[in-house]
Structure 1
Amino acid sequence: MNSEKSMTAGENGNHANRKAWMSLLATADAKALQDLWQDYGCNPDHTWLRPPEVGGVMVQGRMGASGAPFNLGEMTVTRCALTLPDGTVGHGYVQGRSKGQAETAAKVDALMQTGAAGDVRRQILSPLEAARQARKMSRAAKAAATKVDFFTMVRGED
């Protein structure tokens, strides 16, 4: 997700941008998302199209990223869908069993398709992206600390 890019109302429907913020919301820390949502201070009226519900999805994998797909196992997800008074539809799909996180994700998704997108990006999505990058860097640093360099010594008898 490119958090540097500002979004205008005309860009809100961009599929790549929506995919990026939906991915960020789906994998965000539930407490961090709720805290940022509370700080944002806007809780729009909405009508449920599908209230939050917990279920499972089959996760598929591929060997070498190009092999035939195989079923890896199931993962628990929570999903919901809502509509704002202006007709904008928001969807929330999150890992785990957090109905509150799914609801918040759906509200953020809906607001990102309106004129409030810039504020939502600045106050919610950008901090979530920064936290994701920090986790990624921390994980990379831990992995780098365990790196072992193997080398071959040339023997003098050759």
Structure 2
Amino acid sequence: MQQLQREPQERRRTARVLAQASAAELADLWREWPDRPEVEYVRGPESGLVMVQARTGGTGDRFHLGEATATRATVAVRSADDEAIGTAYVLGSHPEHAALAAIFDGLLGSVQANRVREEVIAVLEQRQNARDAERRADARSTVVDFFTVARENDSNDEEDDE
């Protein structure tokens, strides 16, 4: 079994995109995927708890924030001339999501890697960026400029005191 090597940054990026995609998006992409490889579950999908850490002020000391449910899956994807292993972790108890993300992760380690990058990762990443931009715009529309409010109310109130 010859697994294609991937750069750690690329692997993190694709894992993030697959984990942040919805299970329905991944299911639609998998349903439309021609010449699907044989999929064998190596581990899972199984749910468990992970410890969530945070940093004080975002950059300070680490502390344990609490526990979160996560689901992981590891699959072997096999085609006539290729075999690869894929692994995925998703937040929450979503076995179908973890399994589909692991399948696409496995395909990223196979001869179909370029096709997965173009038809799955790029499409999902574009959708996620559009959703994020929309959320930022919605959040930005609710921002109050307190400096302006303070300046408008900064009149000479000495007359009111008399």
Q: Same fold (TM over 0.5)?
A: yes
Which is greater in Rg? 2
Tell me whether 1:49 sits opposite 2:45 in the alignment.
Answer: no
Unaligned runs of 5+ in 1: 1-8
Cα pair 2:77 2:83 within 8 Å, conserved: yes
Letter aligned with residue 42 of structure 2: L
Alignment RMSD, CA only? 2.2
In 2 relative to 1, CA 99–17 (structure 1 residues): closer, same or farther, beyond 3 Å? same
Q: What is the TM-score with the length of structure 1 in the denominator? A: 0.83
Tell me whether 1:74 sits opposite 2:70 in the alignment.
Answer: no
Of the structure 1 ranges 37-46 and 68-77, higher mean CA displacement relative to structure 2 is found in 37-46
How far does residue 47 in structure 1 lie from its aligned partner after superposition? 2.9
Q: Equivalents in 1 of 2:36, 2:136: separation in Å?
A: 37
Q: Equivalents in 2 of 1:44, 1:76: separation in Å?
A: 30
Q: In structure 1, the residue corresponding to 2:48 is in which secondary structure? A: strand
How far does residue 155 in structure 1 lie from its aligned partner after superposition? 5.5
2:144 paired residue number:
148
How far does residue 15 in structure 1 lie from its aligned partner after superposition? 1.0
Q: Equivalents in 1 of 2:94, 2:57: separation in Å?
A: 32
User: Following TM superposition, where does structure 1 have runs of at least 4 consecutive aligned residues deviating by more than 4 angstroms?
Assistant: none
Higher strand share: 2
How many residues are treated as equivalent by the alignment?
148
Q: In structure 2, the residue corresponding to 1:40 is in which secondary structure? A: coil
Unaligned runs of 5+ in 2: 157-162
Q: What is the TM-score with the length of structure 2 in the denominator? A: 0.81
